[in-house]
A and B are shown apart, each in its own frame.
Chain A
Amino acid sequence: MNFFDWNYAIQLLPELFRAALNTISVTLLGFAIAIVLGLFLAIGRRSARIWISWPIGGVIEFIRSTPLLIQVYFLYYVLPNYGVSLTAMQVGVLGIGLHYACYLAEVYRSGLDAVPRGQWEAVTALNMSPSLAYRNIILPQALRPILPPVGNYLVAMLKDTPVLSAITVVEIMQQAKNIGSETFRYLEPITMVGVFFLVLSIVLAYLVRRVEARLEQK
Protein backbone atom coordinates (compact mmCIF):
# COMPACT_ATOMS: atom_id res chain seq x y z
CA MET A 1 0.00 0.00 0.00
CA ASN A 2 1.46 3.34 -1.06
CA PHE A 3 1.75 6.13 1.37
CA PHE A 4 0.61 9.59 0.36
CA ASP A 5 2.52 10.69 -2.76
CA TRP A 6 3.12 14.40 -2.40
CA ASN A 7 4.51 14.89 -5.91
CA TYR A 8 1.45 13.29 -7.42
CA ALA A 9 -0.81 15.38 -5.23
CA ILE A 10 0.85 18.58 -6.35
CA GLN A 11 0.46 17.55 -9.99
CA LEU A 12 -3.28 17.22 -9.43
CA LEU A 13 -3.63 20.67 -7.96
CA PRO A 14 -4.40 22.65 -11.16
CA GLU A 15 -7.15 20.26 -12.21
CA LEU A 16 -8.70 20.15 -8.80
CA PHE A 17 -8.41 23.89 -8.49
CA ARG A 18 -10.41 24.43 -11.69
CA ALA A 19 -13.11 22.11 -10.42
CA ALA A 20 -13.03 23.81 -7.04
CA LEU A 21 -13.95 27.07 -8.74
CA ASN A 22 -17.10 25.37 -9.99
CA THR A 23 -17.90 24.17 -6.49
CA ILE A 24 -17.43 27.63 -5.07
CA SER A 25 -19.42 29.40 -7.76
CA VAL A 26 -22.31 26.92 -7.51
CA THR A 27 -22.32 27.45 -3.76
CA LEU A 28 -22.23 31.23 -3.89
CA LEU A 29 -24.72 31.64 -6.73
CA GLY A 30 -27.02 29.02 -5.25
CA PHE A 31 -26.83 30.68 -1.88
CA ALA A 32 -27.61 34.07 -3.39
CA ILE A 33 -30.75 32.56 -4.91
CA ALA A 34 -31.60 30.83 -1.65
CA ILE A 35 -31.34 33.86 0.61
CA VAL A 36 -33.38 36.11 -1.69
CA LEU A 37 -35.98 33.57 -2.75
CA GLY A 38 -36.21 32.16 0.77
CA LEU A 39 -37.14 35.56 2.10
CA PHE A 40 -39.93 36.02 -0.42
CA LEU A 41 -41.20 32.51 0.25
CA ALA A 42 -41.23 33.23 3.99
CA ILE A 43 -43.10 36.49 3.56
CA GLY A 44 -45.51 34.88 1.11
CA ARG A 45 -46.19 32.05 3.49
CA ARG A 46 -47.10 34.54 6.21
CA SER A 47 -49.56 36.33 3.93
CA ALA A 48 -53.10 36.68 5.18
CA ARG A 49 -54.33 35.83 1.67
CA ILE A 50 -54.62 32.07 1.59
CA TRP A 51 -54.38 31.93 -2.18
CA ILE A 52 -50.82 33.13 -1.68
CA SER A 53 -49.85 31.45 1.55
CA TRP A 54 -51.21 27.97 0.87
CA PRO A 55 -49.55 27.28 -2.49
CA ILE A 56 -46.27 28.66 -1.19
CA GLY A 57 -46.53 26.51 1.91
CA GLY A 58 -47.20 23.50 -0.31
CA VAL A 59 -44.18 24.16 -2.52
CA ILE A 60 -41.92 24.61 0.50
CA GLU A 61 -43.06 21.37 2.08
CA PHE A 62 -42.79 19.49 -1.20
CA ILE A 63 -39.25 20.60 -1.90
CA ARG A 64 -38.09 20.07 1.66
CA SER A 65 -39.55 16.59 1.69
CA THR A 66 -37.92 15.26 -1.46
CA PRO A 67 -34.20 14.65 -2.02
CA LEU A 68 -32.09 17.23 -3.77
CA LEU A 69 -30.77 14.47 -6.04
CA ILE A 70 -34.22 13.73 -7.42
CA GLN A 71 -34.97 17.42 -7.90
CA VAL A 72 -31.84 18.12 -9.93
CA TYR A 73 -32.35 14.90 -11.92
CA PHE A 74 -35.81 16.02 -12.75
CA LEU A 75 -34.70 19.51 -13.75
CA TYR A 76 -31.85 18.22 -15.89
CA TYR A 77 -33.25 15.08 -17.52
CA VAL A 78 -37.03 15.58 -17.55
CA LEU A 79 -37.55 19.27 -18.25
CA PRO A 80 -35.85 19.11 -21.70
CA ASN A 81 -38.76 16.89 -22.77
CA TYR A 82 -40.95 19.93 -22.22
CA GLY A 83 -38.68 22.27 -24.10
CA VAL A 84 -36.76 23.67 -21.14
CA SER A 85 -33.09 22.96 -21.70
CA LEU A 86 -30.55 24.31 -19.25
CA THR A 87 -26.88 23.55 -18.90
CA ALA A 88 -25.76 21.30 -16.07
CA MET A 89 -24.26 24.27 -14.30
CA GLN A 90 -27.46 26.30 -14.59
CA VAL A 91 -29.54 23.44 -13.28
CA GLY A 92 -27.06 22.91 -10.48
CA VAL A 93 -27.25 26.51 -9.32
CA LEU A 94 -31.03 26.70 -9.71
CA GLY A 95 -31.70 23.33 -8.14
CA ILE A 96 -29.54 23.76 -5.11
CA GLY A 97 -30.67 27.39 -4.72
CA LEU A 98 -34.33 26.43 -4.83
CA HIS A 99 -33.81 23.53 -2.45
CA TYR A 100 -32.09 25.65 0.14
CA ALA A 101 -34.46 28.57 -0.39
CA CYS A 102 -37.15 26.34 1.09
CA TYR A 103 -35.03 25.54 4.13
CA LEU A 104 -34.11 29.18 4.56
CA ALA A 105 -37.77 30.18 4.23
CA GLU A 106 -38.44 28.27 7.42
CA VAL A 107 -35.47 29.91 9.12
CA TYR A 108 -36.70 33.34 8.05
CA ARG A 109 -40.12 32.46 9.33
CA SER A 110 -38.78 31.67 12.77
CA GLY A 111 -36.96 35.01 12.78
CA LEU A 112 -40.03 36.93 11.65
CA ASP A 113 -42.20 35.19 14.22
CA ALA A 114 -39.75 36.23 16.92
CA VAL A 115 -40.24 39.95 16.23
CA PRO A 116 -42.63 41.18 18.94
CA ARG A 117 -46.16 41.98 17.87
CA GLY A 118 -45.75 45.47 19.25
CA GLN A 119 -43.32 46.25 16.45
CA TRP A 120 -46.00 45.48 13.87
CA GLU A 121 -48.42 47.65 15.78
CA ALA A 122 -45.92 50.49 15.86
CA VAL A 123 -45.30 50.38 12.10
CA THR A 124 -49.05 50.37 11.50
CA ALA A 125 -49.57 53.29 13.86
CA LEU A 126 -46.83 55.17 11.99
CA ASN A 127 -48.62 54.41 8.74
CA MET A 128 -45.69 52.58 7.16
CA SER A 129 -46.29 50.52 4.04
CA PRO A 130 -45.65 46.79 4.41
CA SER A 131 -42.53 46.92 2.24
CA LEU A 132 -41.06 49.82 4.21
CA ALA A 133 -41.93 48.11 7.48
CA TYR A 134 -40.24 44.89 6.41
CA ARG A 135 -37.18 46.64 5.04
CA ASN A 136 -36.40 49.08 7.80
CA ILE A 137 -38.01 47.74 10.94
CA ILE A 138 -38.97 44.07 10.85
CA LEU A 139 -36.19 42.42 8.87
CA PRO A 140 -33.27 44.05 10.70
CA GLN A 141 -34.69 42.63 13.90
CA ALA A 142 -35.59 39.26 12.38
CA LEU A 143 -32.24 38.65 10.71
CA ARG A 144 -29.91 39.01 13.65
CA PRO A 145 -31.05 35.92 15.57
CA ILE A 146 -31.20 33.72 12.46
CA LEU A 147 -27.68 34.37 11.23
CA PRO A 148 -26.20 31.28 12.92
CA PRO A 149 -28.68 28.85 11.32
CA VAL A 150 -28.31 30.64 7.97
CA GLY A 151 -24.56 30.15 8.26
CA ASN A 152 -25.11 26.46 8.97
CA TYR A 153 -27.15 26.13 5.80
CA LEU A 154 -24.44 27.85 3.79
CA VAL A 155 -21.93 25.23 4.94
CA ALA A 156 -24.45 22.42 4.43
CA MET A 157 -25.05 23.68 0.92
CA LEU A 158 -21.35 23.68 0.14
CA LYS A 159 -21.17 20.08 1.27
CA ASP A 160 -24.19 19.16 -0.85
CA THR A 161 -22.62 20.34 -4.10
CA PRO A 162 -21.15 16.85 -4.92
CA VAL A 163 -24.75 15.75 -5.45
CA LEU A 164 -24.60 17.78 -8.66
CA SER A 165 -22.05 15.39 -10.11
CA ALA A 166 -25.08 13.22 -10.85
CA ILE A 167 -26.09 15.71 -13.52
CA THR A 168 -22.55 16.02 -14.91
CA VAL A 169 -21.53 19.21 -13.13
CA VAL A 170 -17.79 18.86 -12.80
CA GLU A 171 -17.36 20.10 -9.27
CA ILE A 172 -14.37 19.13 -7.22
CA MET A 173 -15.61 15.73 -6.07
CA GLN A 174 -16.49 14.65 -9.59
CA GLN A 175 -13.08 15.76 -10.77
CA ALA A 176 -11.41 13.69 -8.05
CA LYS A 177 -13.41 10.63 -9.06
CA ASN A 178 -12.47 11.17 -12.68
CA ILE A 179 -8.80 11.36 -11.76
CA GLY A 180 -9.12 8.25 -9.63
CA SER A 181 -10.78 6.23 -12.35
CA GLU A 182 -8.07 7.16 -14.81
CA THR A 183 -5.08 6.52 -12.57
CA PHE A 184 -6.48 4.06 -10.01
CA ARG A 185 -5.07 6.27 -7.30
CA TYR A 186 -7.85 7.60 -5.13
CA LEU A 187 -5.96 8.37 -1.95
CA GLU A 188 -4.49 11.71 -3.00
CA PRO A 189 -7.38 13.26 -4.95
CA ILE A 190 -10.05 12.21 -2.43
CA THR A 191 -7.95 13.34 0.50
CA MET A 192 -7.38 16.70 -1.14
CA VAL A 193 -11.09 17.11 -1.77
CA GLY A 194 -11.77 16.35 1.87
CA VAL A 195 -9.22 18.95 2.95
CA PHE A 196 -10.72 21.44 0.50
CA PHE A 197 -14.18 21.07 2.01
CA LEU A 198 -12.79 21.21 5.52
CA VAL A 199 -10.88 24.43 4.89
CA LEU A 200 -13.67 26.11 2.98
CA SER A 201 -16.25 25.18 5.63
CA ILE A 202 -14.07 26.65 8.34
CA VAL A 203 -13.54 29.82 6.32
CA LEU A 204 -17.27 30.22 5.67
CA ALA A 205 -18.14 29.62 9.31
CA TYR A 206 -15.56 32.21 10.29
CA LEU A 207 -17.01 34.75 7.86
CA VAL A 208 -20.50 34.16 9.19
CA ARG A 209 -19.27 34.76 12.73
CA ARG A 210 -17.63 37.98 11.58
CA VAL A 211 -20.91 39.18 10.13
CA GLU A 212 -22.68 38.26 13.39
CA ALA A 213 -20.14 40.17 15.40
CA ARG A 214 -20.56 43.23 13.21
CA LEU A 215 -24.32 43.16 13.59
CA GLU A 216 -23.89 42.72 17.31
CA GLN A 217 -21.93 45.96 17.50
CA LYS A 218 -24.60 47.94 15.69
Chain B
Amino acid sequence: MTTSPVSNIQIAPSEILTGVSSAAISSPAIGKPMVSFRSVTKRYGDFTVLDGLELDVSAGEKVAIIGPSGSGKSTLLRVLMTLEGIDEGSILVEGESLTHMQGRNGKLVPTDAKHVRAVRGKIGMVFQGFNLFPHRTALQNVTEAPVHVLGVKPAEARDRAVQLLEMVGLGAKLDHYPSQLSGGQQQRVAIARALAMRPKVMLFDEVTSALDPELCGEVLNVIRRLGSEHKLTMLMVTHQMGFAREFADRVCFFYKGRIHEQGAPGQLFENPQEERTRSFLSAVREAN
Protein backbone atom coordinates (compact mmCIF):
# COMPACT_ATOMS: atom_id res chain seq x y z
CA MET B 1 0.00 0.00 0.00
CA THR B 2 1.30 3.38 -0.96
CA THR B 3 0.87 6.23 1.44
CA SER B 4 2.49 9.09 -0.35
CA PRO B 5 2.33 12.17 1.82
CA VAL B 6 0.19 15.00 0.61
CA SER B 7 2.16 18.09 1.36
CA ASN B 8 -0.43 20.75 0.71
CA ILE B 9 -2.96 19.60 3.27
CA GLN B 10 -3.42 22.24 5.90
CA ILE B 11 -4.32 21.53 9.43
CA ALA B 12 -7.70 22.94 10.28
CA PRO B 13 -9.02 23.73 13.71
CA SER B 14 -11.65 21.41 15.02
CA GLU B 15 -14.50 23.87 14.61
CA ILE B 16 -13.98 23.99 10.87
CA LEU B 17 -14.68 20.37 10.70
CA THR B 18 -17.65 19.68 12.83
CA GLY B 19 -18.66 23.09 14.07
CA VAL B 20 -19.11 21.59 17.51
CA SER B 21 -16.58 20.86 20.20
CA SER B 22 -15.61 17.29 20.82
CA ALA B 23 -17.30 17.53 24.20
CA ALA B 24 -20.58 18.33 22.50
CA ILE B 25 -20.17 15.33 20.29
CA SER B 26 -19.56 12.88 23.04
CA SER B 27 -21.69 14.25 25.86
CA PRO B 28 -25.15 13.10 24.77
CA ALA B 29 -23.85 9.63 24.31
CA ILE B 30 -22.43 9.02 27.75
CA GLY B 31 -23.49 5.54 28.62
CA LYS B 32 -25.32 5.46 25.33
CA PRO B 33 -23.68 4.30 22.14
CA MET B 34 -23.57 6.67 19.19
CA VAL B 35 -24.79 3.93 16.88
CA SER B 36 -26.48 0.66 17.81
CA PHE B 37 -27.55 -2.22 15.65
CA ARG B 38 -30.02 -4.42 17.51
CA SER B 39 -30.70 -7.83 15.96
CA VAL B 40 -30.66 -6.27 12.51
CA THR B 41 -31.63 -8.61 9.72
CA LYS B 42 -31.63 -7.68 6.07
CA ARG B 43 -32.50 -10.03 3.25
CA TYR B 44 -32.29 -9.83 -0.51
CA GLY B 45 -34.86 -12.42 -1.52
CA ASP B 46 -33.60 -15.70 -0.06
CA PHE B 47 -30.18 -14.34 0.71
CA THR B 48 -29.68 -13.03 4.23
CA VAL B 49 -27.10 -10.25 4.10
CA LEU B 50 -27.32 -9.19 7.73
CA ASP B 51 -28.30 -11.91 10.13
CA GLY B 52 -29.41 -10.64 13.52
CA LEU B 53 -26.48 -8.26 13.67
CA GLU B 54 -25.53 -6.70 17.00
CA LEU B 55 -23.11 -3.80 17.06
CA ASP B 56 -22.58 -0.83 19.34
CA VAL B 57 -20.25 1.99 18.37
CA SER B 58 -19.38 4.61 20.95
CA ALA B 59 -18.98 8.29 20.23
CA GLY B 60 -15.61 9.04 18.73
CA GLU B 61 -14.83 5.40 18.11
CA LYS B 62 -13.22 4.34 14.85
CA VAL B 63 -14.37 0.97 13.67
CA ALA B 64 -12.91 -0.82 10.68
CA ILE B 65 -15.04 -3.45 9.06
CA ILE B 66 -13.34 -6.19 7.10
CA GLY B 67 -14.44 -9.48 5.67
CA PRO B 68 -15.06 -11.41 2.47
CA SER B 69 -17.35 -9.99 -0.20
CA GLY B 70 -21.02 -10.71 0.39
CA SER B 71 -20.50 -10.79 4.15
CA GLY B 72 -22.70 -7.73 4.66
CA LYS B 73 -20.02 -5.09 5.30
CA SER B 74 -21.29 -2.50 2.85
CA THR B 75 -24.91 -3.32 3.63
CA LEU B 76 -24.22 -2.40 7.24
CA LEU B 77 -23.27 1.11 6.16
CA ARG B 78 -26.05 1.35 3.60
CA VAL B 79 -28.83 0.50 6.05
CA LEU B 80 -27.38 2.94 8.58
CA MET B 81 -27.43 5.66 5.89
CA THR B 82 -31.06 4.63 5.10
CA LEU B 83 -30.14 3.85 1.52
CA GLU B 84 -31.84 0.54 2.16
CA GLY B 85 -34.41 -0.62 4.65
CA ILE B 86 -34.05 -3.49 7.09
CA ASP B 87 -36.34 -6.46 7.57
CA GLU B 88 -36.00 -6.98 11.31
CA GLY B 89 -34.42 -5.37 14.33
CA SER B 90 -33.66 -1.73 14.89
CA ILE B 91 -30.92 0.78 14.31
CA LEU B 92 -30.39 3.57 16.83
CA VAL B 93 -28.41 6.74 16.36
CA GLU B 94 -27.79 8.47 19.70
CA GLY B 95 -30.63 6.41 21.06
CA GLU B 96 -33.07 7.47 18.36
CA SER B 97 -34.43 4.79 16.11
CA LEU B 98 -34.21 4.99 12.35
CA THR B 99 -37.13 2.64 11.96
CA HIS B 100 -39.54 3.57 14.76
CA MET B 101 -40.56 6.62 16.73
CA GLN B 102 -42.92 7.50 19.56
CA GLY B 103 -46.45 7.87 18.27
CA ARG B 104 -49.06 10.19 19.78
CA ASN B 105 -50.31 7.56 22.18
CA GLY B 106 -46.79 6.75 23.29
CA LYS B 107 -46.66 3.59 21.26
CA LEU B 108 -43.90 2.90 18.79
CA VAL B 109 -44.93 3.62 15.21
CA PRO B 110 -42.93 3.41 11.98
CA THR B 111 -40.91 6.55 11.36
CA ASP B 112 -42.11 9.21 8.98
CA ALA B 113 -39.90 11.01 6.46
CA LYS B 114 -39.33 13.95 8.80
CA HIS B 115 -38.06 11.79 11.64
CA VAL B 116 -35.82 9.80 9.31
CA ARG B 117 -34.33 13.01 7.97
CA ALA B 118 -33.68 14.33 11.45
CA VAL B 119 -31.82 11.18 12.47
CA ARG B 120 -30.10 10.78 9.12
CA GLY B 121 -28.72 14.31 9.42
CA LYS B 122 -26.25 13.02 12.00
CA ILE B 123 -24.65 10.71 9.49
CA GLY B 124 -22.42 11.40 6.51
CA MET B 125 -21.19 8.92 3.96
CA VAL B 126 -18.39 8.65 1.43
CA PHE B 127 -18.85 6.16 -1.39
CA GLN B 128 -16.59 3.88 -3.34
CA GLY B 129 -17.65 5.58 -6.58
CA PHE B 130 -17.37 9.17 -5.19
CA ASN B 131 -20.84 10.08 -6.52
CA LEU B 132 -19.99 13.73 -6.94
CA PHE B 133 -22.50 15.86 -8.80
CA PRO B 134 -20.98 16.10 -12.29
CA HIS B 135 -22.71 19.37 -13.18
CA ARG B 136 -21.38 21.16 -10.12
CA THR B 137 -17.88 22.41 -9.39
CA ALA B 138 -15.91 21.09 -6.43
CA LEU B 139 -17.01 24.12 -4.42
CA GLN B 140 -20.66 23.80 -5.45
CA ASN B 141 -20.62 20.12 -4.58
CA VAL B 142 -19.64 21.09 -1.05
CA THR B 143 -22.02 24.05 -0.63
CA GLU B 144 -25.12 22.56 -2.24
CA ALA B 145 -26.50 20.65 0.73
CA PRO B 146 -25.51 23.07 3.53
CA VAL B 147 -27.29 25.92 1.73
CA HIS B 148 -30.40 24.05 0.64
CA VAL B 149 -30.77 21.48 3.43
CA LEU B 150 -29.34 23.19 6.50
CA GLY B 151 -30.25 26.71 5.39
CA VAL B 152 -26.73 28.07 5.84
CA LYS B 153 -26.24 31.46 4.18
CA PRO B 154 -24.49 31.06 0.80
CA ALA B 155 -21.52 33.25 1.75
CA GLU B 156 -21.02 31.38 5.00
CA ALA B 157 -21.36 28.00 3.29
CA ARG B 158 -18.83 29.08 0.73
CA ASP B 159 -16.28 30.13 3.35
CA ARG B 160 -16.62 26.86 5.14
CA ALA B 161 -16.48 24.86 1.91
CA VAL B 162 -13.26 26.64 0.99
CA GLN B 163 -11.82 25.76 4.39
CA LEU B 164 -12.85 22.14 4.02
CA LEU B 165 -11.48 21.88 0.50
CA GLU B 166 -8.24 23.44 1.68
CA MET B 167 -8.13 20.91 4.45
CA VAL B 168 -8.34 18.07 1.98
CA GLY B 169 -5.65 19.73 -0.14
CA LEU B 170 -7.87 21.04 -2.92
CA GLY B 171 -7.81 24.76 -2.26
CA ALA B 172 -6.56 25.29 -5.80
CA LYS B 173 -9.31 23.26 -7.45
CA LEU B 174 -12.43 25.00 -6.17
CA ASP B 175 -13.86 25.75 -9.59
CA HIS B 176 -12.95 22.46 -11.21
CA TYR B 177 -15.70 20.09 -12.28
CA PRO B 178 -15.44 16.47 -11.16
CA SER B 179 -14.50 15.41 -14.68
CA GLN B 180 -11.45 17.66 -14.42
CA LEU B 181 -10.23 15.99 -11.22
CA SER B 182 -8.39 12.73 -10.62
CA GLY B 183 -10.09 9.93 -8.72
CA GLY B 184 -8.20 10.75 -5.55
CA GLN B 185 -9.11 14.40 -5.82
CA GLN B 186 -12.76 13.56 -6.45
CA GLN B 187 -12.82 11.36 -3.39
CA ARG B 188 -11.33 14.13 -1.28
CA VAL B 189 -14.04 16.50 -2.54
CA ALA B 190 -16.58 13.85 -1.55
CA ILE B 191 -15.12 13.75 1.96
CA ALA B 192 -15.30 17.54 2.22
CA ARG B 193 -18.88 17.43 0.92
CA ALA B 194 -19.92 14.96 3.60
CA LEU B 195 -18.14 16.90 6.34
CA ALA B 196 -19.86 20.13 5.30
CA MET B 197 -23.09 18.68 6.69
CA ARG B 198 -21.50 18.50 10.15
CA PRO B 199 -22.18 14.83 10.72
CA LYS B 200 -21.43 13.10 13.99
CA VAL B 201 -20.89 9.78 12.32
CA MET B 202 -18.94 9.29 9.11
CA LEU B 203 -19.27 6.19 6.98
CA PHE B 204 -16.55 5.24 4.53
CA ASP B 205 -17.55 2.53 2.09
CA GLU B 206 -14.43 1.13 0.43
CA VAL B 207 -13.41 4.65 -0.41
CA THR B 208 -10.11 3.69 -2.00
CA SER B 209 -11.26 0.62 -3.93
CA ALA B 210 -11.86 2.52 -7.15
CA LEU B 211 -8.53 4.34 -6.99
CA ASP B 212 -5.14 3.59 -8.44
CA PRO B 213 -2.81 2.46 -5.67
CA GLU B 214 -0.78 5.64 -5.89
CA LEU B 215 -3.90 7.77 -5.33
CA CYS B 216 -5.07 5.81 -2.28
CA GLY B 217 -2.50 7.47 -0.08
CA GLU B 218 -3.82 10.99 -0.50
CA VAL B 219 -7.32 9.88 0.47
CA LEU B 220 -6.17 7.78 3.41
CA ASN B 221 -4.07 10.68 4.64
CA VAL B 222 -7.15 12.87 4.78
CA ILE B 223 -9.05 10.23 6.73
CA ARG B 224 -6.07 9.69 9.02
CA ARG B 225 -6.02 13.39 9.73
CA LEU B 226 -9.75 13.46 10.44
CA GLY B 227 -9.33 10.60 12.82
CA SER B 228 -6.44 12.05 14.74
CA GLU B 229 -7.69 15.61 15.05
CA HIS B 230 -11.42 15.25 15.48
CA LYS B 231 -13.73 13.29 17.59
CA LEU B 232 -15.87 11.98 14.76
CA THR B 233 -17.34 8.54 15.05
CA MET B 234 -16.19 6.58 12.02
CA LEU B 235 -17.23 3.33 10.46
CA MET B 236 -15.06 2.20 7.63
CA VAL B 237 -15.44 -0.75 5.32
CA THR B 238 -12.02 -1.37 3.88
CA HIS B 239 -9.73 -3.80 2.15
CA GLN B 240 -6.69 -1.84 3.28
CA MET B 241 -5.64 -4.02 6.19
CA GLY B 242 -2.58 -1.91 6.91
CA PHE B 243 -4.68 1.19 7.21
CA ALA B 244 -7.36 -0.54 9.30
CA ARG B 245 -4.70 -1.72 11.68
CA GLU B 246 -3.08 1.64 12.12
CA PHE B 247 -6.25 3.73 12.14
CA ALA B 248 -9.03 1.84 13.87
CA ASP B 249 -9.79 1.47 17.57
CA ARG B 250 -11.59 -1.73 16.81
CA VAL B 251 -11.71 -4.11 13.88
CA CYS B 252 -14.79 -6.20 13.11
CA PHE B 253 -14.46 -9.22 10.90
CA PHE B 254 -17.74 -9.86 9.11
CA TYR B 255 -18.77 -13.26 7.96
CA LYS B 256 -22.20 -14.38 6.78
CA GLY B 257 -23.99 -11.27 7.93
CA ARG B 258 -22.64 -11.26 11.46
CA ILE B 259 -19.59 -10.07 13.31
CA HIS B 260 -17.60 -13.26 13.36
CA GLU B 261 -14.79 -11.84 15.43
CA GLN B 262 -13.84 -8.40 16.69
CA GLY B 263 -11.18 -6.79 18.77
CA ALA B 264 -8.43 -4.25 18.93
CA PRO B 265 -6.45 -4.20 15.67
CA GLY B 266 -3.31 -5.59 17.25
CA GLN B 267 -5.15 -8.51 18.71
CA LEU B 268 -7.32 -9.30 15.68
CA PHE B 269 -4.52 -9.08 13.17
CA GLU B 270 -1.80 -10.72 15.32
CA ASN B 271 -3.77 -13.30 17.15
CA PRO B 272 -7.14 -14.08 15.54
CA GLN B 273 -9.10 -16.62 17.50
CA GLU B 274 -11.37 -17.90 14.78
CA GLU B 275 -10.35 -20.17 11.95
CA ARG B 276 -12.37 -18.18 9.38
CA THR B 277 -10.66 -14.95 10.41
CA ARG B 278 -7.24 -16.56 10.07
CA SER B 279 -7.95 -17.92 6.61
CA PHE B 280 -9.31 -14.55 5.46
CA LEU B 281 -6.33 -12.66 6.78
CA SER B 282 -3.82 -15.03 5.29
CA ALA B 283 -5.61 -14.92 1.93
CA VAL B 284 -5.46 -11.12 2.01
CA ARG B 285 -1.77 -11.16 2.93
CA GLU B 286 -1.05 -13.51 0.07
CA ALA B 287 -2.90 -11.27 -2.37
CA ASN B 288 -0.80 -8.31 -1.26
* A interface majority secondary structure: helix
* A118: interface (CB < 8 Å): yes
Indicate if the CB atoms of B83 and A125 lie closer than 8 Å: yes
Minimum CB–CB distance for A120 against chain B, Å:
8
B interface residues, tally (CB under 8 Å): 24
Interchain CA distance A197-B149 in the complex, whole Å: 47
Q: Which residue of A lies closest to B125 (CB)?
A: A125
Chain A 111-143, CB-CB to B under 8 Å as 1, else 0, gives: 000001011011011111100100011001100
* A218: interface (CB < 8 Å): yes
If A127-B121, A127-B197 touch, whether A122 touches B133 (CB-CB below 8 Å) is yes
Chain B 107-124, CB-CB to A under 8 Å as 1, else 0, gives: 000000000010011011
List residues of chain B with CB within 8 A of the CB of A118.
Answer: 127, 129-131
* B interface majority secondary structure: loop
A interface residues, tally (CB under 8 Å): 17
B148 interface neighbour in A121, A125, A132, Cβ under 8 Å: A132
- Contact residues, A30-61 vs B (CB, 8 A): none
Indicate if the CB atoms of A125 and B124 lie closer than 8 Å: yes
Chain B 229-263, CB-CB to A under 8 Å as 1, else 0, gives: 00000000000000000000000000000000000
List residues of chain A with CB within 8 A of the CB of B145.
Answer: 126-128
List residues of chain A with CB within 8 A of the CB of B193.
Answer: 126
Interchain CA distance A118-B129 in the complex, whole Å: 7
Chain A 173-214, CB-CB to B under 8 Å as 1, else 0, gives: 000000000000000000000000000000000000000000
List residues of chain B with CB within 8 A of the CB of A132.
Answer: 148-149
Indicate if the CB atoms of B120 and A127 lie closer than 8 Å: yes
Indicate if the CB atoms of A136 and B148 lie closer than 8 Å: yes
Indicate if the CB atoms of B149 and A128 lie closer than 8 Å: yes
If A128-B149, A132-B149 touch, whether A122 touches B127 (CB-CB below 8 Å) is yes
Interchain CA distance A3-B134 in the complex, whole Å: 59
List residues of chain B with CB within 8 A of the CB of A137.
Answer: 133, 144
* B194: interface (CB < 8 Å): yes
Minimum CB–CB distance for A52 against chain B, Å:
15
Indicate if the CB atoms of A122 and B135 lie closer than 8 Å: no
Q: A118-B131, A126-B144, A127-B197 are in contact. List 9 more A-B contacts (CB 8 A).
A: A118-B130, A119-B131, A119-B133, A125-B81, A125-B124, A125-B125, A126-B197, A128-B149, A136-B144
Q: Which 10 A-B pairs rank lowest in CB-CB distance, beginning with the nearest? A: A118-B131, A126-B145, A122-B131, A125-B125, A118-B129, A127-B121, A140-B135, A127-B149, A132-B148, A121-B83
Binding site for A on B (CB under 8 A): 81-83, 117, 120-121, 123-125, 127, 129-135, 144-145, 148-149, 193-194, 197
